[in-house]
Amino acid sequence: MGRNVRVPGGELDVIAQEGEVLCFIEVRSRTCADFGHPLETIDAPKQRRIARAAAAYLSAHPHGGPCRFDAVGVLWGPEGAAPSVTLVRGAFVPTRVY
């Protein structure tokens, strides 16, 4: 449905649909895991920003079905090696309704 979708107050990396579920997907990447996995960077403040951006998107593009917040972590390996990609469906549930 969209990549790098700009909305008032933020940006959504990927918006996709799986069946009836509208998915807001945050993508994080790192070149190595020395300081943790990329998914560990999606902390509570980042989750709030994503939830606010999703609310802004839904204000302009109403969706009658359920929504979900997913995350993709990309860990790049040595040059020429395939990256390690991790998808987490339902990575977080917003603690507030915006």
Indicate whether 97 belongs to any domain.
no
pLDDT(98) > 60: no
The pTM of this model reads 0.90
Overall domain count for the chain? 1
Indicate whether 98 belongs to any domain.
no
Q: What is the pLDDT of residue 96?
A: 64
Q: What is the pLDDT of residue 1?
A: 84
CATH assignment at residue 31: 3.40.1350.10
Average pLDDT, the chain: 92
Indicate whether 27 belongs to any domain.
yes
What DSSP string runs through 18-52? Answer: ETTEEEEEEEEEES-STT--GGGG--HHHHHHHHH
pLDDT(93) > 80: yes
Confidence of residue 89 (pLDDT cuts 50, 70, 90): very high
Indicate whether 60 belongs to any domain.
yes
Sheet holding 21-30, edge to edge: 2-7, 10-18, 21-30, 67-75, 84-92
Cα separation, 31 vs 44, in Å, equals 23
Q: What is the pLDDT of residue 7?
A: 95
Q: What is the pLDDT of residue 16?
A: 98
